[in-house]
A and B are shown apart, each in its own frame.
Chain A
Amino acid sequence: MFKKNHYYLMFFAIFFIQGLVAQDVTITGTVTDDLGSPLPGVNVVEKGTTNGTSTDFDGNYAIDVANLNGSLVFSSLGFSSKEVAINGQTIINVGLVEDAEQLGEVVVTALGIRKETKALGYSLTEVGGEELSTVKQTNAINSLQGKVAGVNITQNATGAAGSSRVVIRGASSLSGDNMPLYIVDGIPIGNENNGSAGLWGGSDGGDGISSINPDDIASVSVLKGGAASALYGSRAAGGVIIVTTKSGQGQEGFGVELSSSVTFDEVDTSLQDFQREYGQGTRGRKPVNQSEALDLGLSSWGARLDGTPVVQWDGVERPYSYVGSNLKHFYRTGTTFINTVALTSGSEKLSYRFSASDLANKDVMPNAGLDRKTFSLNSSAILGEKITSQVNVKYINEDVQNRPRLSDAPGNGNFTVANLSPNVDVRFMNPGTNPDGTERQYSNNTFSQNPYFAAYSFRNEDTKNRLIASTTLRYDITDWLYLSGRAGIDHSTIKRTSVEPFGTAYKPLGGINEEERRYTQIDADVILGFEKDITEKFATSAFVGANSNHIKQEQLNLGGNSFIVPGLEDIANTETQSRSRGYSERKIGSLYGSVELSYDRWAYVTFTGRNDWFSTLSFPGKTTPNDDFYPSVNASVIISDALDLAEPVSFLKLRGGYSEVAGGAQDAYALALTYEIFGQGFLGQPTGRVNGGTVPNSNLVPFSKTEAEIGLDARFFNNRLSLDFAYYNNETTKDIVDVSTSIFSGYGGAKANIGRVENKGVEFLLSGSPIKTDNFTWTTSINGAYNQGKVLATNDSNADVNLDEPRTRNVRITHIVGEAYGTIVGVSYDRDENGTIKYTINGDGVPIAVEGERKILGEGVPPWTFGFNNSFRYKNFNLNFLIDGKFGGQIFSGTNTIVYGNGLHKETLEGRENGLSVSGIDADTGQPFTTTVAPEFLQTYYGEINDIAEEFVEDSDYIKFRQVSLGYTLPKKTLENIFLTNVNISVIASNLFYLKRSVDNIDPESAYNVGNSQGLEYFGVPSTRSFGLNVNVKF
């Protein structure tokens, strides 16, 4: 790119010489930035002519002009252009103002190539590191929420150490994970999910991307479409997120940067709005004794709270009155401290940046937290005249204490805390243990855990050690031909211990599990590249490359049940032990190439092609292909450069592209049936069986995803207003799908290879700078996206693909041909032709809602997303805020279902005093009826309604005030006399409140796993609000 500029300079020089003959007035001057530093390389053009020059290293220029009444136009990348009337002056000094909109115009694209955005024929969004490090998230990727159109992020409701689901432009595979490929400093890193909660509970094990320290991130590029990712191959079928960490480049001499932040998290108790009028009990009365209080557990079908003493689960009488928010009583204020120190040094030949960071988090869940230490070294060196190198190394140590259990009740303190009757104070359950160490039960249902026992006696801790290292070497063979090689490794070991302690009510003798997971990914590329301007206007760059990707995973498990010596939680101290080892290895080999042609810097076209070979599609004797070739083409035309467009248009680009990406089976060993020896044997005899519950498919071939995209980038009023718009349409064919089979077939699923999914959508980003003065600027942007996914085929009989169901088991996420991706299918009301609900009248005269068929009740992924960003700068103050929202999706609320049955939901107040009038159709007679349900039978009535999923699938629409930050940068003048070069302080707040929320009592974004089953909520850790302070110092 730099070389091309020289050609332009040459053209200008030629014009300049040509002009000498006729021109006789020379104008000179210096161009500086707003801090007064000279700006080299600024283009200076006599308006309306082709006469121009550029500034030298000291910002000086000289230009001969013919017309002293004309004007000069000064322009430079990253600055707003400026037009100055000559008015007879011969010395014109100009100050240019940085243009935030334009700063990002050089972006990191595939394979780490930096490109001008105008040359891109596809949609790419780059987010600067400061956007991620101001309002810091323990998982930096969550900071992209609301900032990038078309990127849909869902965090698990599990606290700081959890994983996130990131989907770009809609999920395109029915069974694949649909997550983007993460590239950190040029190499792919693993984003394996290390455990997740499901139907029967469990906990989130965290993911790979969450390890990256937000303070180290220089920028994040989101390559949305297939065109953008063709060069990364099959694993990029879900898009690519490129994280570039900070380096020492650009640093002059030695520098130190310190950043410190503290964030306080508080459970947002405003979401939950349960009834506070009726206490623990049954049939409208209070428990009569301790035994009944234990039997009743979480039942809030008691009498109206009246303050009289009533016995509770522990035999103690307490006033029968509202005890305040148990959420407030149980959860603590979470704290997160992130401290990073970075040393940078730069010289002509060698630059580096070393950083060390410590993240110390105490979660809102008592006794849970995360400690993360990150060490990072980035260096680049010019080793010789033709050889440059880069080395990046990160070491990450993560300690997680007690990942909270989610979903089903056992071990899940959240379940109990959310369900306690208004008159039962959770704090009396502390401590969670009896003097003998066994669980203090508040309920006879052994699976309703004492939340303090869950928090303090259950253990679920892990330690991760991770090394991510990469090196790049580039050898310039000639000035137009280079060879570069790059290799990287991502290796991690996780050691996890989880304990159900001795004395657990549902497992009196307890159990322990010790697990070790090892993950290694090695990725290497060799690229031969070519860059040449063929004629004055035609330029070309091209490369061919080869890639090898190799992933190895191993998992060792030791399980022990029934502790022998109480209190000693060691695997050897158990009556029975089990052990297992899992292993998988897979490789992808690739050849790829790219050719870019450009004409006169306003027309660009890029062709790519890639062939991937997949080990997961290879097997001895297999005859169907294990590889696929896939091409892409994309083009962009800068209309504003090609034609001379008048104001207000300052820039107009059209782009378009078509791409294909192929992919293999996600997991190894899916082609052939295998057997296994399992368990510990039985009375000394080994036990063997078929391995796995999915029918393998020996003929799997690569799936293919095609995408067409067109887009527009338009800027107006001297770049003060801009619009980026994209329309895309992608379709996956030959998707490798686990189609659900009948339970009677002996298998839960069968691998098919003819799945089809399509996604269509639009994305836009409208941004502007309504106010822009020296002291005050306001920039604002709104981004939005609409994506509609549709399942077109599954297998040859187009059977459903069943995904997860919550513990209520009356609803399930299912892929159904002809419907949206991941529909919510659940039990509906049985209605007559007029839509009137049918009931059967039981012996007590209580109408029991008849369960109708399971039908589609919604879609779990909201198709509409938007973000509204605002940034104000007044002198040295910065104020930013972000509002975001999602629309058009639904969520099944397990919380509302359960609290309905328990009489905690506000709607169950109706009828408590005088009975509830219910009308409907009597299913036995077919005749309409109206009856009054007596207060003592309300729990039967409402308790049956809570089997009807239809009642609890609600719109998940929301608009959230996501974050706000106020920053202050100390003026340079203040710092002049001390050794500091930059000091910035900011206060931040996030997740402050909802401007709109459709669903009651829960966070509409709540989820308990990051798989394809979105739209299920079931007793995760409640959502939090955060407040914090950041300090950043450079010297």
Chain B
Amino acid sequence: MKNSIYILLFVFFLSACDKGFEELNVNPTKPVQVSLATKLTAAQKFMSSERYDNWRANLIYQSTMMQHLAVTAGYWAGDKYTWNKGYASSLIDRYYPNVIKSLEDMKVQMEEENSPEEMRAIVRIMRVFVFARLTDLYGDVPYSEAGQAFISGILTPKYDAQSEIYPDLLKELEESAAALGTGTSAFGNADLIYQGNQTKWKKLANSLMLRLGLRLIKRDPAAAEAWATKAIAGGVMESNEDIFYLQHDVNNRNGNSEAFDADGNQRLSKTFVDFLQGDPRLPILASRRSDGSTAPADLKGLPNGLDSELLLAATGEEDTSLYAEPSDIITFFEAPMFFQTYAEVEFMLAEAAVRWNLAGGDPEPHYNAGVRAAMKMLELYGPDAVIADAEIDAYLAANPFDAANALEQINTQYWAATFLNEYEAFANWRRTGFPNLVPVNYPGNVTNGTIPRRLTYSESEQSNNPENYQAAIAAQGPDLLTTRVWWDVE
């Protein structure tokens, strides 16, 4: 009799064995969904990204390849055209798991919530920007299947050919621009860049269309002209009020600034400082490492492609602290991060005018407006970075538009205006060949003394996505710094 009590006891335990387990395994600290607004803010943060890739891909590689910066330290691989695979792939390594994953996730949510077209258009434009930055830097990249591991179970996306990505990006811009109205988007202030201002997003869509259209100039000049025409007709940026940039804050620091804070080896390139002679931007962008002086006479640029010994041999000088570095005025943690500026747009209009008689047909006013905007926009760095109109006038008087050398002049100014947005400087240099950079030939470089034409894929792809990786190489060429992307016709 007594035993049956124990049996009953066990039956009780049996029924209790997984009581409450289902609820217990619901994470009490994480929501099952968050609002699109919070995701947009995060996506903009991820688009500007963090120290990791700004340091590696943007600064260590591209800023030195573009001779904005120069460094004697050996690990700044771009200064010497050596190959550090982890640095080279750093944009992929941050963009896909962060901003692309977020944007793809937002697309699904907007579908589920039947979000208004203008919200979708804003997300689509951002998506175009990030994919354009990726494909410009790496060439063929996963696009149609990217960032969808959870959404559609694609764990090993295929690489899309740049020749197929570009038309889709341009089509996305066209459709997005058409979908945008005039009022404020439902994103409102969650949109840190334009506060939901649809008009500005629309101008951005067209300005990016102009940028991507011009990229095709060597591959398909007719298409380049057609897209430039369409972009200009649609309405591009009209003032520094329209600049596509992100203001950073103390908790969400500018990645370039963070890299400068941690590194300290970066100096302004001799190439860049030489260009900035007599330019009012020089004392804002640069200061002497040793004592912080911003007097133009004290600001000396460091030649690219040298280590300490070669520097000594080349200049008789070995103390790198006597050279100029990016100044505190522009490298504070809350500094803005620029993605596309009105100045760039004006320079592109100038080029469109030169090439195709577009944008009024006269390049000079666009050139002047571009230079003025490039100098004026530094105000966004704060009161120490304000350049008086008189100084700009003087600069333009000393450096007037030169119709005989228009493309070089315009695109060299474009290069100066994209300082620290090295992704754009590098892409535009490959597109136009300007500025006319003299390559370095550091011992042990892997490019045979030529400036790299792209950066390389993540090494993990060789084991985690081998078939698609091999297919991409077969289509595009070897995964090397010297391989050219599709639009970069030799």
Contact = CB atoms under 8 A, between A and B. Distances in A.
Contacts of B149: 695, 741, 745-747, 750
Nearest to B442: A843
Given A446-B262, A673-B150, A802 B460 contact: yes
Interface stretch (B100-108, B204-212, B235-243, B377-385): B100-108
Contact of A825 (B23, B92, B147, B463): B463
A846 B82 CA distance: 14
Given A668-B25, A669-B25, A741 B462 contact: no
Given A582-B29, A742-B142, A682 B73 contact: no
Interface in B362-378: none
Interface string A339-363: 0000000000000000000000000
A676 interface: yes
Given A675-B33, A741-B156, A614 B465 contact: no
A48 B159 CA distance: 84
B458 A743 contact: yes
Nearest to B98: A689
Nearest to B30: A674
A842 to B, nearest CB: 5
A690 B155 contact: no
A742 B443 contact: no
Contact of B312 (A288, A617, A743, A800): A288
A850 to B, nearest CB: 10
Contacts of A742: 142, 155-157, 460-461, 464-465, 468
Interface string B437-458: 0000101111011000000001
Given A687-B45, A742-B464, A747-B149, A675 B29 contact: no
A843 B318 contact: no
Interface in A674-691: 674-691
B192 interface: yes
Given A295-B308, A615-B18, A695-B150, A671 B262 contact: no
B432 interface: no
Nearest to B463: A800
A445 interface: yes
A835 interface: no
A291 B319 contact: yes
B92 A744 contact: yes
B14 A619 contact: no
B262 A689 contact: no
B249 A683 contact: yes
Nearest to B29: A583
Contacts of A282: 307-309
Contacts of A546: 10, 13-14, 17
B114 interface: no
B397 interface: no
B96 A746 contact: yes
B154 interface: yes
Interface string B138-160: 00011001111110011111010
A198 B34 CA distance: 31
Contacts of A668: 24-25, 27
B478 to A, nearest CB: 12
Contacts of B92: 743-744
Interface string B29-58: 111111101110110110000000000000
Interface stretch (A50-58, A584-592, A716-724): A584-592
Interface stretch (A19-27, A323-331, A573-581, A654-662): A573-581
B155 A619 contact: no
Contacts of A615: 18, 21, 24-25
Contact of B308 (A291, A586, A614, A809): A291
Given A282-B309, A687-B41, A854 B25 contact: no
Contact of B25 (A444, A586, A695): A586
A508 interface: yes
A291 B318 contact: yes
B34 A675 contact: yes
A289 B190 CA distance: 54
Contact of A743 (B2, B10, B42, B97): B97
A454 B98 CA distance: 33
Interface in B297-315: 307-309, 312
Interface string B77-116: 0000000011000001100111011101100000000000
Nearest to A575: B250
Given A682-B45, A843-B441, A622 B2 contact: no
Output the residue of A477, A742, A744, A750 with the most chain B CB within 10 A.
A744
Contacts of B460: 740, 742-743, 802
Contact of A591 (B13, B27, B105, B309): B13
A805 to B, nearest CB: 9
A669 B42 contact: no
Contacts of B181: none
Contact of B22 (A619, A677, A809): A619
A292 B41 contact: no
B229 interface: no
A673 B151 CA distance: 10
A156 interface: no
B263 interface: yes
A440 to B, nearest CB: 15
B123 to A, nearest CB: 14
A292 B318 contact: yes
Interface in B234-263: 247, 249-252, 261-263
A288 B93 CA distance: 40
A627 interface: yes
Nearest to B152: A745
A646 interface: no
A89 to B, nearest CB: 54
Contacts of B468: 742
Contacts of A877: none
Output the residue of A481, A674, A746, A800 with the most chain B CB within 10 A.
A746
Given A686-B41, A744-B157, A674 B31 contact: yes
B463 A740 contact: yes
Contact of A528 (B10, B141, B250, B459): B10
B16 interface: yes
A616 B25 contact: yes
A672 interface: yes
Given A506-B262, A746-B96, A842 B443 contact: yes
Given A618-B18, A745-B157, A809-B86, A283 B34 contact: no
B189 interface: yes
A814 interface: yes
A291 B100 CA distance: 44
Given A679-B252, A741-B464, A589 B17 contact: yes
28 contacts: A292-B318, A295-B72, A445-B73, A446-B264, A546-B10, A581-B29, A587-B24, A614-B21, A615-B18, A618-B21, A674-B31, A675-B33, A677-B34, A682-B41, A682-B45, A682-B249, A691-B30, A742-B460, A742-B461, A742-B464, A746-B146, A746-B149, A747-B101, A842-B445, A843-B448, A843-B449, A844-B444, A846-B443
Interface of B: 2-3, 6, 9-10, 13-14, 16-35, 37-39, 41-42, 44-45, 72-73, 75, 85-86, 92-93, 96-98, 100-102, 104-105, 141-142, 145-150, 153-157, 159, 189-190, 192, 247, 249-252, 261-265, 307-309, 312, 318-321, 441, 443-446, 448-449, 458-465, 468
Given A546-B17, A620-B26, 6 more contacts: A291-B318, A295-B308, A508-B261, A668-B25, A809-B85, A848-B444
Interface of A: 282-283, 288-289, 291-292, 295-296, 444-446, 477, 481, 483, 506-508, 526, 528, 544, 546, 575-576, 578, 581-583, 585-587, 589-591, 611, 613-620, 622, 626-627, 668-669, 671-691, 693, 695-696, 739-748, 750, 797, 799-800, 802, 809, 812, 814, 825, 842-844, 846, 848, 853-854, 937, 940, 943-944
Sort A-B residue pairs by CB-CB distance and give the 6 closest, nearest first: A688-B38, A688-B34, A746-B101, A589-B17, A746-B147, A613-B18
